[in-house]
Structure 1
Amino acid sequence: MNKKLSTVRIMADYQFCKGCGEKLFPEDVSFLLSRTGRIRQILYNNERIATVRASDGVLTLSIKGADTVHKYLSKPNQRVTMCEEAVPFVSAGKTAFSKHVIDIDPELRAGEEVLVVDESDNLLATGQLILSPEEIHSIERGSAVDIRTGVQQQ
């Protein structure tokens, strides 16, 4: 196994859970590198699975990557569940607001990459958590998740 593949698998295992790296990144993935030779994007069949965020080295997922993680992890891991009223907006890539969150993985921390799902656990979007779970439950106003990509944006 090459060093780049091993590196991104370890990153995914740390960020999401053990075993996730192998599911997310099969043997024949390809890499787009920065000018300095660092991994920037991970592709499978010329489709982006994830990007390594330059500022902190965190993996940001495409919908394809988020779908793989969603299938691998059981509910409520890495998930923010939205009420039915917010589903059309979130799946179109709009911000997820605190008042529409009905459930959230209590282990999450602000700044982490999350899967946004509906009440039936269907994947709606992927994004970055803005507030901690405690803040989301106590604050009725403001943004909860900064949506990167919604399923309708593909």
Structure 2
Amino acid sequence: MSRKPETPEFLPREEKFRKIRWMADYQFGRGAGKVLFPDTCKFIVSPKTGRIRQITDKGIRIATLKASSGWFSLSIEGAKRIKDFFEYPRNRVVVTNEVSEFIADGKNVFAKHVVDVDENLRAGDEVVVVDEDDNLLATGKAVLCASEMMLFNRGIAVNVRAGVKKYLDQV
């Protein structure tokens, strides 16, 4: 028998939920797992390994579990859930309203446009990008830590993965 019941890919559904929720709580903060991944979610698994690759809810991708790092990358729907759950400025990078259209189009965030940021963010963290009115613009990966984003006037602060405009066009 080639199956090993103790490996993650062969865990029961409830155990998979427990693990991914725990991972989301660790990555984004307590409570994020339940908000991101309600019981209605479905798993898309790798055909080769059987490991979870994406989590969807009602046909909409919420997050992708990165094989290289073990971290979640958020879709716009996942970013919306995180933004709505956590109080401002948790997990957020705030940009000036003047560049909000560019960011919503999926363009990267430059440090000179950052006006506020969650002080606990580190380089490499998955972040939610919002405007000064806390409107969701994009999701991406922080290139700089929080203090560098506020201090620097040059360089990319966030590599934007997805802008909200492309998401709205698809829905």
Select between 136-145 and 101-110 the one with higher mean Cα deviation.
136-145
What's the CA shift for 1:37?
1.4
1:60-107 CA-partner distances (Å, limit 9, x unpaired): 111111111110000010000000111010000000000000001110
Check if 1:144 corresponds to 2:127.
no
Give the unaligned 5+ runs of structure 1: none
What's the RMSD between the two structures over aligned residues? Answer: 0.9
TM-score by length of 2: 0.87
Select between 67-76 and 27-36 the one with higher mean Cα deviation.
27-36
What's the CA shift for 1:138?
2.3
The partner residue of 1:47 within 60, 76, 93 is 60
Give the unaligned 5+ runs of structure 2: 1-12
Check if 1:61 corresponds to 2:74.
yes
Counterpart CA distance in 2 for 1:78 and 1:9 is: 17
Larger Rg: 2
Whichever residue aligns with residue 9 of structure 1, its letter is R
Counterpart CA distance in 1 for 2:37 and 2:84 is: 14
Counterpart CA distance in 1 for 2:82 and 2:138 is: 12
Whichever residue aligns with residue 98 of structure 1, its letter is A
TM-score by length of 1: 0.97
Residue matched to 1:10: 22
Counterpart CA distance in 2 for 1:84 and 1:68 is: 22
What's the CA shift for 1:6?
1.1
What's the CA shift for 1:137?
2.2
4+ long deviations beyond 3 Å: none
Residue matched to 2:33: 21
Residue matched to 2:104: 91
Counterpart CA distance in 2 for 1:92 and 1:25 is: 26
1:85-138 CA-partner distances (Å, limit 9, x unpaired): 110100000000000000011100000000000001111110000011122222
What's the CA shift for 1:7?
1.1
Question: Secondary structure at 2:40's aligned position in 1?
Answer: coil
